[in-house]
Amino acid sequence: MEQWLNDHQLSTEQRIEKSIEQVPAPIVNDVHGSSEYRTFVLKNTLTDVLNELEGEGHV
């Protein structure tokens, strides 16, 4: 996962998609949240983290 997040030859969106593909187990789908919702939250969190760490800040 870290390898994909650090691959600056890809766009931020591509890096996040590739990273999520590396999650070693299925994303949980239960009464607390669907797997689609959890994936959505993970994508947004990774986007915020990468933007902050790479100096882009919040838009």
Is 60 exceeded by the pLDDT of residue 58? no
15-26: pLDDT as tens digits? 999 999 999 999
Q: Coil, strand, or helix at residue 8?
A: coil
Write down the pLDDT at residue 55. Answer: 80
Model confidence, pTM? 0.83
Residue 10 near residue 18, CB atoms below 8 Å: yes
Number of neighbours of residue 54 by Cβ within 10 angstroms: 10
Residue 14 near residue 49, CB atoms below 8 Å: no
19-46: pLDDT as tens digits? 999 999 999 999 999 999 999 999 999 9
Write down the pLDDT at residue 57. Answer: 55
Determine the Cα–Cα distance for residues 7 and 38; give it in Å rounded to an integer: 24
Cα distances (Å, whole numbers) of residue 10 to 5, 24, 30: 9, 22, 33
